[in-house]
């Protein structure tokens, strides 16, 4: 296959092959926008390199060909002594991974061509600075040298000159520095800095390929659930320079505000600088609007191009650009990242502007974004001690102790402490700390700084550019207007307003939650709420999947109902046996004879009946699927180890109580090596006579009572962990008998969970004895993979994620190929027996966006999830139907 594409050969839909950056550079090139010429090496080439450790055979020839084309277009050659062609070598994967992979700029400079560049640009200082930047970047990223080697050399030189400012270093100084750098390369790597431009390019390309598997890239992918085997494309682009003087510069722009979604001119500009300087947040930028004063022509060109791009992509675009001596160049664009709030507001604005329809607007927002909008905010009425106000870069309300290093953040998080990571600026090495912290606060950099971009991507609260703060990492202090905050002190940061407070500020529910609760009207003037209302209403109109909730209490049921639940898909009745009732359960388990057992059941029955009354009342008129008791019995008994010790000690003293001795015998009898595979679910019902019958009587009589009160209770009875139709049939007979006794056998459906592979495979038989199925994908995942759902997360999942065996835990998001195939089988075979068999899912996956799309595809009737995830499920069910 073709491994290299000229920018003119690609387009925006070729992201998988050319990466996001390459595809969009191609798109802009073909739109006639000013993109410096170049070409893209495909992600296929990278994957081949990662698999074999060597670049594919044909790659060198293809690159030669494209270099020649580029040289012809530019009228100059790589390494040309009097006027060299210089290129950048940049990574660019199909999914954006900001700052995670490598870039090498100014490739093509060497001891000869640096003079040509000096002459041609008219500024020797610039040429020598470009050369030292090349050696520095090349040394770090390609040769794997420690960056401090270079930083220290710069510092030493500045000290010798008695200055703190890079700008005081003149051409001769930088020439000296180049000599020092080259010597350092030789000392640290045993080879000379390569003078041949093509060698520089080839090594840089390999380094970019290899950076796909850098530690930080791997960590980022795990965090963002990006597949481990995509690989990155590499863009070779002719250099343009924003650091040729004050008539040059570089910047970042958004076609709308990426934090609120409001239209307008947003971005940052930095005069006389290269792109990396802006993204790194090293120097402070000016607002993009100021460019109009600085360089009206470039500003007008940029505004025009931004309008073109928004019109073309029909969405918010973000842009990186450079001005070289008054000429504007586009270095990158993409449909821009945005906060959750901006996503909703932009989507509905675009409907109003006639750019997109409501279906497309719904496609543009995600369940995960809606979930973010449901986080609490700081209470505006609480007393607050404002420390400073800076840039709200990623919304949310976070409180925690001040920490200054990534390591401290990770340590604190492991202790269970909440922390705010405070830095002058962040860089990709801070990723661990950012993940561990509740929020991130930086004293430098704008909305496009590393901290801001990465925090937004992670949905983590971030305030940046808090220039009033003097952050002293070494001393562990922040000084601000005469006061000092030390490591360990509590602060709170508001990622929406940019405010920083001393102490912990109380939080209040988000307006979006208030809207779902029904306490804030959609037309009360909150634009975000209005957008959410419009899109979720549309989702409800188009979705086919029903949305129910998992709830065991009337409170949860009532909240879920306010959030839009259309019934209960799973009531876990074992949750009703905890607390004070544990003793009755203990008596039940210990019962020696029928009489004792019946007495224990008789104690439990009225309590259960009361539970069901409340639950059915809260969900009046809607289906309530009540699952008969499921978990292993030992969960209701004391720990075997502790009890054994207690009894042994008491025996020693001759004072062991008879109760403890009997209890211990029972605990030992019931002890299981693999309780998850043991006496649970239907097995329990078959082994303990009367237990299920008691629950069914409680359900049925609660329904009768409510009906007598004029209510409309709609219970459904569900049998868990069935693997054979005989199990289900036996229990079903008993359940039916009780229902007949109470006189409600016709109206209460009896169904089962499909949560064992065997059940899915013989679903055609099981359907004979079931009125409905609900897929229990938690247990189905556990038994299909053979992963203990209670143990794996800590034990080895992190390694599995690192190694790319899966990009996300199969307990979080359904494994379509394996577990999903069993769900599909269960659906097909179940419906082969009963074409209108009602099918749902009530495992954790019922609230997971990706999984919801899968359940829609396989034709389930509803998903069931925890109350707080109901809005997300409604939205995603709507999106799945489009
Ligand atoms: C399941 O297994 O998916 C399920 C919903 O049941 P539980 O989580 O209670 O085992
Ligand atoms: Mg289960």
Within 13 Å of residue 253, how many CA atoms lie on the same side as its CB?
Answer: 31
Ligand 2 geometric centre to CA of 681 (Å): 8
Of ligand 1's listed atoms, the one at least distance from the Cα of 778 is 3
Over residues 492-507, the mean pLDDT reads: 91
Asked if residue 828 lies in contact with residue 850, where contact means CB atoms within 8 angstroms, the answer is: no
Query: Which residues are within 8 A (CB) of 199 and not within 5 positions of it... i.e. 6 or more apart?
Result: none
The pLDDT-based confidence of 281 (bands split at 50, 70, 90) is: low
Q: Which of 91-95, 156-160, 361-365 has the highest mean pLDDT?
A: 361-365
Of ligand 1's listed atoms, the one at least distance from the Cα of 775 is 3
- Residue 800: count of CB within 10 angstroms of its CB: 16
* Binding site membership of 570 for ligand 1 (Cβ less than 6 Å): yes
Structure tokens at 230: 């995509």
Query: Which residues are within 8 A (CB) of 281 and not within 5 positions of it... i.e. 6 or more apart?
Result: 425, 442, 444, 445, 446, 448, 449, 450, 451, 464, 465
Of ligand 1's listed atoms, the one at least distance from the Cα of 776 is 3
Express each pLDDT in 647-660 by its tens digit.
Answer: 999 999 988 888 88
* 3-class DSSP state of 128: helix
Query: Which residues are within 8 A (CB) of 821 and not within 5 positions of it... i.e. 6 or more apart?
Result: none
Check residues 130 and 215 and name the one with the higher pLDDT: 130
Residues in the chain: 882
Location of structure tokens 């004072």: 655
Report how far residue 808's alpha carbon sits from residue 30's, in angstroms, rounded to the nearest whole number: 37
pLDDT score of 707 more than 80: yes
Which one of 548, 568, 570 would you pick to mutate in the ligand 1 pocket, going by the greatest count of ligand atoms within 8 A of its CB?
A: 570
Ligand 1 geometric centre to CA of 779 (Å): 6
Q: What is the pLDDT of residue 66?
A: 97
pLDDT score of 280 more than 80: no
pLDDT score of 448 more than 70: no
Report how far residue 170's alpha carbon sits from residue 271's, in angstroms, rounded to the nearest whole number: 19
Mean pLDDT computed over every residue of the chain: 92
Report how far residue 153's alpha carbon sits from residue 159's, in angstroms, rounded to the nearest whole number: 10
pLDDT score of 538 more than 90: yes
Ligand 2 geometric centre to CA of 720 (Å): 7
Which ligand is in closest contact with the Cα of 775? 1
| Residue from 46, 66, 317, 450 carrying the catalytic annotation | 450
pTM assigned to the model:
0.79
Q: What is the pLDDT of residue 835?
A: 98
Asked if residue 409 lies in contact with residue 425, where contact means CB atoms within 8 angstroms, the answer is: no
842 is known as an active-site residue = yes
* Binding site membership of 777 for ligand 1 (Cβ less than 6 Å): yes
Check residues 479 and 745 and name the one with the higher pLDDT: 479
- Domains defined for the chain, CATH in brackets: 48-238 (1.20.80.30), 249-338 (3.30.470.20), 375-509 (3.50.30.10), 543-573+615-632+678-881 (3.20.20.60), 634-671 (no CATH)
pLDDT score of 72 more than 90: yes
pLDDT score of 481 more than 90: no
| Residue from 842, 845, 856, 865 carrying the catalytic annotation | 842
The pLDDT-based confidence of 130 (bands split at 50, 70, 90) is: very high
Report how far residue 114's alpha carbon sits from residue 109's, in angstroms, rounded to the nearest whole number: 6
- The DSSP letter of residue 545 is S
Answer positive or negative: Cα dihedral of 663, 668, 673, 676: negative
pLDDT score of 589 more than 90: no
Which of 512-521, 662-671, 678-687, 846-855 is the least confident region? 662-671
Edge-first strand listing for the sheet containing 419-423: 385-389, 499-502, 490-494, 397-403, 419-423, 439-442, 461-464, 391-394
pLDDT score of 705 more than 60: yes
Report how far residue 420's alpha carbon sits from residue 433's, in angstroms, rounded to the nearest whole number: 9
* 3-class DSSP state of 252: strand
pLDDT score of 228 more than 90: no
Q: What is the pLDDT of residue 391?
A: 87
Burial of 621 (0-12, 13-18, 19+ CB in 10 A): exposed
The C-alpha angle with vertex 301 and arms to 296 and 304, in degrees rounded to 5, equals 125
Q: What is the pLDDT of residue 739?
A: 97
Check residues 581 and 105 and name the one with the higher pLDDT: 105
The C-alpha angle with vertex 626 and arms to 623 and 628, in degrees rounded to 5, equals 160
Asked if residue 134 lies in contact with residue 104, where contact means CB atoms within 8 angstroms, the answer is: yes
Helix (H) or strand (E) holding 715: strand 714-719
Ligand 2 geometric centre to CA of 787 (Å): 14
Which one of 778, 812, 847, 865 would you pick to mutate in the ligand 1 pocket, going by the greatest count of ligand atoms within 8 A of its CB?
A: 778
Give the orientation angle of helix 197-211 with respect to helix 43-52, to 10 degrees. 80
Over residues 37-53, the mean pLDDT reads: 96
pLDDT score of 484 more than 70: yes
Please give the radius of gyration of the chain, using alpha carbons only, rounded to the nearest integer.
32
Report how far residue 650's alpha carbon sits from residue 513's, in angstroms, rounded to the nearest whole number: 54
Ligand 1 geometric centre to CA of 531 (Å): 35
450 is known as an active-site residue = yes
Q: What is the pLDDT of residue 793?
A: 60
Of ligand 1's listed atoms, the one at least distance from the Cα of 774 is 5
Longest dimension (CA), the chain: 104
Enter the ipTM: 0.99
* Binding site membership of 842 for ligand 1 (Cβ less than 6 Å): yes
- The DSSP letter of residue 159 is H
Asked if residue 164 lies in contact with residue 158, where contact means CB atoms within 8 angstroms, the answer is: yes
pLDDT score of 457 more than 70: no
Over residues 848-852, the mean pLDDT reads: 96
* Binding site membership of 301 for ligand 1 (Cβ less than 6 Å): no
pLDDT score of 490 more than 80: yes
């Amino acid at each position: 296959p073709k491994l290299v594409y000229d920018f003119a050969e690609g387009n925006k839909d070729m992201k998988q092959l050319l990466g996001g950056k390459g595809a969009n550079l191609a798109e802009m090139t073909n739109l006639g926008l000013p993109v410096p010429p170049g070409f893209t090496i495909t992600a296929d080439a990278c994957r081949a390199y990662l698999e074999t450790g060597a670049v594919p055979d044909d790659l060198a020839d293809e690159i030669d060909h494209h270099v020649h084309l580029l040289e012809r277009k530019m009228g100059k050659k790589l390494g040309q002594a009097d006027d060299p062609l210089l290129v950048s070598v940049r990574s660019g994967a199909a999914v954006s991974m900001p700052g995670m992979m490598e870039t090498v700029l100014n490739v093509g400079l060497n001891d000869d061509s640096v003079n040509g560049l000096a002459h041609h640009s008219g500024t020797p200082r610039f040429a020598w600075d470009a050369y030292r930047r090349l050696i520095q970047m090349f040394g770090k990223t390609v040769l794997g040298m420690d960056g401090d080697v270079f930083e220290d050399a710069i510092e030493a030189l500045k000290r010798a000159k008695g200055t703190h400012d890079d700008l005081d270093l003149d051409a001769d100084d930088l020439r000296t520095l180049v000599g020092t750098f080259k010597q350092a390369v030789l000392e640290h790597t045993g080879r000379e800095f390569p003078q041949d431009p093509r060698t520089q390019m080839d090594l840089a390309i390999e380094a970019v390929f290899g950076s796909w598997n850098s530690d930080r890239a791997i960590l980022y992918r795990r965090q963002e659930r990006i597949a481990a085997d995509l690989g990155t494309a590499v863009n070779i682009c002719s250099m343009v320079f924003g650091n040729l003087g004050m008539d040059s510069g570089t910047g970042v722009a958004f076609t709308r505000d990426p934090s609120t979604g409001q239209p307008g001119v947003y971005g940052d500009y930095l005069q006389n600088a290269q792109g990396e300087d802006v993204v790194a947040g090293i120097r402070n930028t000016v607002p993009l609007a100021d460019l109009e004063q600085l360089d009206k022509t470039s500003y007008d060109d940029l505004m025009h191009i931004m309008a073109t791009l928004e019109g073309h992509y029909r969405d918010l675009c973000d842009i990186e650009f450079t001005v070289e001596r008054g000429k504007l160049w586009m270095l990158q664009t993409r449909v821009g990242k945005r906060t959750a709030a901006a996503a909703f507001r932009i989507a509905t604005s675009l409907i109003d502007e006639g750019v997109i329809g409501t279906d497309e607007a719904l496609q543009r927002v995600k369940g995960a974004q809606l979930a973010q909008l449901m986080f609490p905010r700081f209470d505006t009425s609480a007393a607050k001690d404002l420390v400073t106000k800076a840039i709200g870069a990623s919304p949310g309300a976070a409180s925690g102790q001040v920490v200054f290093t990534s390591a401290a953040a990770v340590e604190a998080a492991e202790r269970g402490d909440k922390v705010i990571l405070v830095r002058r600026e962040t860089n990709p090495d801070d990723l661990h700390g950012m993940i561990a912290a509740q929020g991130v606060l930086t004293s430098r950099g704008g909305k496009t700084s590393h901290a801001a971009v990465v925090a937004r991507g992670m949905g983590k609260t971030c305030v940046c550019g808090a220039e009033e703060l003097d952050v002293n990492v070494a001393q562990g202090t922040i000084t601000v207007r005469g006061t000092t905050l030390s490591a360990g002190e509590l602060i709170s940061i508001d990622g929406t307003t940019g405010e920083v407070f001393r102490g912990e500020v109380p939080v209040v529910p988000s307006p979006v939650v208030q809207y779902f609760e029904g306490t804030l009207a959609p037309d009360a003037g909150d634009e975000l709420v209005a957008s959410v209302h419009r899109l979720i209403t549309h989702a409800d109109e188009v979705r086919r999947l029903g949305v129910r909730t998992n709830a065991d209490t009337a409170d949860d049921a009532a909240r879920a109902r306010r959030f839009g639940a259309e019934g209960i898909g799973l009531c876990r009745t074992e949750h009703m046996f905890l607390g004070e009732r544990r003793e009755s359960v203990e008596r039940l388990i210990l019962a020696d004879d029928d009489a004792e057992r019946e007495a224990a059941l008789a104690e439990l029955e009225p309590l259960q009946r009361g539970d069901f009354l409340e639950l059915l009342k809260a969900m009046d008129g809607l289906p309530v699927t009540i699952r008969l008791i499921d978990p292993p019995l030992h969960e209701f008994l004391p720990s075997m180890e502790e009890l054994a010790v207690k009894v042994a000690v008491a025996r020693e003293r001759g004072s062991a109580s008879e109760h403890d001795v009997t209890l211990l015998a029972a605990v030992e009898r019931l002890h299981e090596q693999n309780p998850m595979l043991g006496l649970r679910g239907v097995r329990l019902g078959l082994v303990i006579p009367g237990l299920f019958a008691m629950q069914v009587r409680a359900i049925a009589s609660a329904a009768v009572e409510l009906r007598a009160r004029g209510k409309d209770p709609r219970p459904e009875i569900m049998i868990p962990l069935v693997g054979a139709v005989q199990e289900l049939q036996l229990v079903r007979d008993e359940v039916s008998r009780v229902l007949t006794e109470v006189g409600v056998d016709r109206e209460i459906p009896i169904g089962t969970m499909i949560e064992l592979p065997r059940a899915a495979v013989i679903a055609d038989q099981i359907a004979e004895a079931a009125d409905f199925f609900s897929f229990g994908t938690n247990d189905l995942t556990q038994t299909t993979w053979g992963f203990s759902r209670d143990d794996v997360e800590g034990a080895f999942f992190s390694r599995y994620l690192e190694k790319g065996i899966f990009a996300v835990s199969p307990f979080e998001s359904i494994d379509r190929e394996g577990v999903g195939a069993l769900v599909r089988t269960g659906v097909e075979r179940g419906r082969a027996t009963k074409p209108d068999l009602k099918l749902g899912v009530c495992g954790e996956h019922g609230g997971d966006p990706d999984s919801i799309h899968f359940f829609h595809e396989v034709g389930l009737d509803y998903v069931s999830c925890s109350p707080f995830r109901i809005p997300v499920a409604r939205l995603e069910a709507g999106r799945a139907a489009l």
